């Protein structure tokens, strides 16, 4: 069911066009990472303030409220680029263990928001009492740091996993090249040199010619 969906997604016109474009992958990945820098800064600042570490010149409410908009914009851009990156090779990412870890951590982030948003992030003005920042806010900040750190690590790990040889992409390559060893070599090269994923490498197999992204 989910697998059929991801195969359908990667075969839609938009994803196919992105996959076959010259610099779609590099551009989206660059935007994804740049927005992570923007978003990451807002998350780190908010959490450090909640933990009482820094920046001390601003109240908790000032930090939480003023960073809310840039944080949401950053997350929206990351999510959009991430979704498009995913759709380009959805089946391969679907089978990727680090992608699965990342999705699991996102679900935990959603649970974290459900638990702590009402009492911490939406109640920032009430957090600075005579007894300092309450423990629940510090716990929320610490868990948030761990989850986002895990998401960044899992995101970085995605690129280091080889797609399993039974994936749809591999089957396509295999039927295209009529040569399992060559298909495996192409997939290996795709994964060891991902920055060139979109370059139209031409394979010559006997009298057959084609690009790696042939669908």
Give me the residues that bind ligand HEM (CB under 6 A), please: 29, 32-33, 36, 39, 75, 78-79, 82-83, 85-86, 93, 151-152, 155-156, 158-159, 194
Residue spans of alpha helices (H) in the chain = 2-10, 13-20, 24-50, 60-66, 68-88, 90-94, 97-116, 135-158, 168-177, 180-192
Identity of the residue, 27 or 59, whose beta carbon is nearer to ligand HEM in the bound complex: 27
Residue 84: CB atoms within 10 A of its CB come to 18
Identity of the residue, 24 or 82, whose beta carbon is nearer to ligand HEM in the bound complex: 82
The nearest distance, CB 105 to ligand HEM, in angstroms, is 9
Identity of the residue, 95 or 151, whose beta carbon is nearer to ligand HEM in the bound complex: 151
**197 CB contacts (<8 Å, ≥6 apart)?**
25, 190
Identity of the residue, 61 or 75, whose beta carbon is nearer to ligand HEM in the bound complex: 75
41 to 54, 106, 179: CA distances (angstroms): 13, 18, 48
The nearest distance, CB 48 to ligand HEM, in angstroms, is 17
**9 CB contacts (<8 Å, ≥6 apart)?**
15, 87, 90
The nearest distance, CB 192 to ligand HEM, in angstroms, is 12
The nearest distance, CB 183 to ligand HEM, in angstroms, is 19
The nearest distance, CB 56 to ligand HEM, in angstroms, is 27
Q: Are 173 and 187 a contacting pair, CB within 8 Å?
A: yes
The nearest distance, CB 25 to ligand HEM, in angstroms, is 7
Identity of the residue, 156 or 178, whose beta carbon is nearer to ligand HEM in the bound complex: 156
Task: Give one word for 52, left, alpha or beta, with left for phi > 0 and alpha for psi -120 to 50.
Answer: left
Identity of the residue, 59 or 191, whose beta carbon is nearer to ligand HEM in the bound complex: 191
Calpha distance 89→144 (Å, rounded): 29
């Amino acid at each position: 069911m989910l697998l059929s969906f991801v195969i359908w997604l990667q075969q839609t016109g938009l994803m196919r066009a992105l996959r076959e474009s010259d610099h779609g992958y590099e551009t989206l990945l660059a935007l994804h990472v740049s927005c992570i820098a923007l978003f990451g800064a807002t998350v780190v600042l908010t959490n450090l303030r909640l933990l009482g570490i820094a920046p001390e010149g601003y109240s908790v409410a000032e930090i939480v409220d003023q960073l809310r908009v840039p944080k949401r914009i950053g997350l929206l851009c990351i999510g959009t680029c991430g979704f498009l990156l995913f759709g380009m090779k959805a089946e391969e990412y679907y089978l990727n263990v680090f992608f699965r870890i990342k999705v699991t951590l996102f679900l935990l982030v959603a649970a974290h928001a459900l638990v702590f948003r009402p009492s911490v992030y939406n109640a920032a003005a009430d957090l600075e009492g005579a007894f300092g920042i309450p423990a629940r806010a510090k716990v929320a900040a610490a868990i948030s740091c761990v989850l986002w750190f895990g998401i960044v690590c899992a995101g970085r790990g995605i690129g280091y996993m080889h797609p399993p040889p039974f994936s749809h992409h591999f089957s396509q390559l295999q039927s295209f090249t009529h040569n399992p060893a060559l298909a495996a070599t192409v997939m290996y090269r795709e994964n060891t040199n991902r920055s060139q994923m979109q370059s139209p490498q031409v394979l010559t197999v006997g009298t057959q010619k084609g690009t790696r992204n042939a669908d």
